[in-house]
A = this chain, B = another copy of it.
Amino acid sequence: MITSTEIKFIKSLSQKKFRDEYGVFVVEGEKMVQEALNSGFEVEKVYRKEDIGEAAMARISALSSPSPVLAVVKQHSRPFKAPCQGLYLALDGIRDPGNLGTILRIADWFGIDAVYASEDTVELYNPKVVQSTMGAIFRVPFYTADIPLLCSSYKGKVYGTFLDGENMYKKDLEASGIIVIGNEANGISEETAACVTDRLYIPPYPADDPGSESLNAAVATAVTVAEFRRRG
């Protein structure tokens, strides 16, 4: 059973202001809900199609084909942990929900120790972000941070990709460091760029003809992180 108040409440969670107010978010799908239940996140309530009916499920689901199960999960804020020994991502204004979700999934696959995101990065609990993490949201430590401050106070290397950077394959890459990922349209901000110690470039093929002007932010993240892990 589900009450009309609950339906209204769950529907309201598609808006950031209500997610903020109640400190919860929505997770959909068998696999995602299972991962939520097995994670350190607190699951407030699980709704299954067989219990609440198909019509109610269609009303509370944000997906075009409603999933068989949906959960309301408490937002989880970890005590802030500054980067030290490890490989980290710093997101400097990622705006596309699909990109943020995909970056968390990449971070999970390649064992990134934590992801730090600027205030102007899209909200972690946006339903599109949550679903595109494919569960990585429950595993990858994620913090909001002042990225220029984080990078400038970091003792190790700060890497970033730039169109005028050096061929990544020919550079020494340390196993520990922060990799900065820039905004989809504008790249790494000037303030953050000033803290980057090693400017990298993903060489196109052939080397003098990229065709496209750039790679998608999540794609550039993947190729860069894969290269770090390939060495290590």
Q: Are B222 and A215 in contact (CB under 8 A)?
A: yes
Q: Are A106 and B215 in contact (CB under 8 A)?
A: yes
Q: Report A87-99 CB contacts with B as 1/0, cut-off 8 Å.
A: 0000000000010
Number of copies: 2
Q: Are A105 and B215 in contact (CB under 8 A)?
A: yes
**Residues of A135-191 contacting chain B, CB below 8 A:** 135-136, 139-140, 169
| A102 adjacent to chain B (CB < 8 Å) | yes
| A69 adjacent to chain B (CB < 8 Å) | no
Contact pick for A108, options B110, B139, B211, B227, CB 8 Å: B211
Given the known interface contacts A229-B205, A232-B205, the answer about A135 and B216 at a Cβ–Cβ threshold of 8 Å is: no
Q: Are A109 and B215 in contact (CB under 8 A)?
A: yes
Q: Are B209 and A134 in contact (CB under 8 A)?
A: no
Nearest CB in chain B to that of A132: its residue: B216
Q: Which residues of B contact A215 (CB under 8 A)?
A: 105-106, 109, 222
Q: Which residues of B contact A212 (CB under 8 A)?
A: 105, 108-109, 134-136, 139
| A219 adjacent to chain B (CB < 8 Å) | yes
A219 CB, min distance to chain B CBs, angstroms: 4
Nearest CB in chain B to that of A96: its residue: B98
A88 CB, min distance to chain B CBs, angstroms: 13
Q: Are B230 and A169 in contact (CB under 8 A)?
A: yes
| A23 adjacent to chain B (CB < 8 Å) | no
A218 CB, min distance to chain B CBs, angstroms: 6
* Distance of A179 Cα from B211 Cα, bound (Å): 20
Q: Are B111 and A219 in contact (CB under 8 A)?
A: no
* Distance of A229 Cα from B218 Cα, bound (Å): 19
Q: Which residues of B contact A227 (CB under 8 A)?
A: 226
| A50 adjacent to chain B (CB < 8 Å) | no
Residues of A within 8 A of B (CB): 98, 102, 105-106, 108-111, 132, 134-136, 139-140, 169, 202-206, 209-216, 218-219, 222-223, 226-227, 229-230, 232
